Amino acid sequence: MCGIFSIYSKKDIKTNSFIRSLKELEYRGYDSAGVAFFEKDKIKTIKTTLKIKDLESKLQDDIKTSLIVGHTRWATHGNPSIKNCHPHHYKNVVVVHNGIMENYDELKKSNFIKKNKIKSDTDTEILAHLISYFLTKTGSLAKSVAKVGKIIKGSNAFLCLDKKDPKLIVAYKNKTPLYFGIKRNGEFLFSSDLNAMKSGLDRYYFLNDEDLIEISDYKIKCFDKNMKIKKLNMNLYKTQLLRNKKKSNSENSITYEEINSQKFLIPKMFNAFKIIKDKTKTITNPNEIVIIGCGSSYNASLLGKYYFEQISSIPTSVFRPSEFTFLKTNNKKILYIFISQSGETADTCDLLENNRDYFKNSLSIVNQPESRLALNTKLFLNLNMGIEKGVASTKTFTGQLVYLYLLSIIFNSKTDTKLPNKEYFKKNFLKIFSLEDKIKSISKKFYKYKNCFVLGRNYNYPISLEGALKIKEISYIHAEGLLSPEMKHGPIALIDTNFPVIYLISNDKDTILKEIINLHETKSRSNKIILLANSTTIEKLDKKFLDSIDFIEIPNIKEHLLPIFFIIPLQYLSYHVGKLKKISVDQPRNLAKVVTVA
């Protein structure tokens, strides 16, 4: 959940270039940040409990260094403070670390370091102490890191320096992602993601689990888990530019731009139908589907269940990985779908990796093709939406819905469900974005509330959960997503005349009248109703009722695609409420984009 970055060069490094790259990793954690670098053969460290922008002001442009490592943190052990901020030192060892040492407390009490004085609350400092211990025994930083790699548990990637050797860096990776790159100017790079390395990048290598790379005096060696030298099969970096990519408007947040990018990205995703069909042709129609995901991916999975059961007629179950605790003896005809925008979600990856044989028939849906999930499932589908930097998922959630919908059509043995007319879909989808001004106006009434319900039924129930999650994440309002008919079985006790309720009504002919009755039941108790419904539903409500509430009219479209239309207004509402409350929408408190700890 942290970001690590390093440059190793034969020439003096431009610190502004280094900071720019480190900022690209800030979505992974932003509780604090720090750098360590050699200047005149002496190690120097700069730390801050603010964001990287503060670090930038402290790092002078005229620093002369050819080796620098940096870190941006999401706290796991110890609060955000200077003592807990990376890099961590012990004697001659300097470490920046991304991941979590699950057995750090046990190792802290081990004979290796139990007599040492520990200054911070972090697991990373224990790492520095352990490496230092083995360094005194082996005299080799690489061998010491390899020994430590064998005794630590969890998912870990780290970079290590030796204060006595300004031309040495050692990198280690297990489960947590780490890239090595070579720029066209000859500089060596290490990074938690590929995007931070992209400027001037020539070749790159995604470290395998338990890989170790040593660069000493500009010579590169890669070792496997047995410390045997292995060949570095570097990939040629190809710049990937999204056709819809526009120059960023600094006045707007990244999250806002990512919401708006869906205008172009989502309609184009239907062009992936043939690619998905070809990639999944080895999957015979399963008797059962199990979908596994966390957070927004879990909410998308719930809609996936609706698609597979309604369109494909395949019984489908949805689990969070932490609750998937039973393994059936006969699962040959079950397809397991793992969903994670980053492909690095620890809970999901750990379940898969700890039961590889069981999940042989597996498919992952990710937005990062070199992620843990993609590498460990039988097949993977890449959303290919470009990196999502806003911590709250927006475009990738909607992308997951599209892919699950397309898969449900592919798995429909009756083949009587056809793809929507692309131009018709695009025309109506773009209408959603013209609703922003009305949503912005509603948000001015909504932002002062501390609690709300988001109610939905049928395909809108997963959307109500996701809408509530967005409101929690970037509006800091306690929002609860509920199945609308269940509201009267307890939660209605919370409603009074000033309790806001966001109500999503589907166009299901079997339930629409019941949903309208539920709406009236809610309105009789609360004066703060925000209704999202399409024109068919709006027409069933009288003008006097509509004048007493706020409503957003969703364009008419085929039923299965309506959830994709409903989520955009909720994303806009969350954003504008957060903005009115002066919240850091792109980097909300306590969150990080890539959840690499269980």
Neighbouring C-alpha atoms within 13 Å toward the C-beta of 407 = 31
Q: Which distant-in-sequence residues (6+ apart) come within 8 Å of 114 by Cβ? A: 108
| Alpha-carbon gap, residue 509 to 534, rounded angstroms | 13
How far apart CA 408 and CA 283 sit, in angstroms, is 13
C-beta separation of 144 from 165 below 8 A: no
What is the H or E stretch that residue 299 is in?
helix 295-310
CB atoms inside a 10 Å sphere around CB 486: 14
User: Which residue's entry shows tokens 């050819």?
Assistant: 66
Sign (positive/negative) of CA torsion 546, 549, 553, 556? negative
Q: For residues 70 and 6, is the Cβ–Cβ distance under 8 A?
A: yes
Task: Give the CB-side neighbour count of residue 518, counting CA atoms within 13 A.
Answer: 25
> How does DSSP classify residue 229?
B
CB 24 within 8 A of CB 93: no
Structure-block tokens of residue 135: 């360094």
**Do the beta carbons of residue 540 and residue 516 sit within 8 Å?**
yes
If one counts every other C-beta atom within 10 angstroms of the C-beta of residue 90, the result is 22
For residues 400 and 268, what is the distance between their CA atoms, to the nearest angstrom? Answer: 13
Catalytic residue numbers, as ranges? 2, 593
Nearest 10 degrees: Cα torsion 379, 383, 388, 391: -60
Could you give the C-alpha distances from 459 to 405, 456, 463, 506, 573, in angstroms and in order? 12, 8, 7, 7, 20
Q: Kindly give the pairing relationship between strand 288-292 and strand 334-339.
A: parallel
* Beta bridge partner(s), residue 454: 481, 502
**What is the 3 state secondary structure string of 487-551?**
CCCCHHHHCCCCCCEEEECCCCCCCHHHHHHHHHHHHCCCCCEEEEEEHHHHCCCCHHHHHCCEE
Distance CA 178, CA 25 (A): 12
φ and ψ of 461, to 5 deg:
-65, -50
Helix axes 295-310, 460-475, angle to 10 degrees: 170
Cis geometry, peptide bond prior to residue 485 (ω within 30 degrees of 0): no
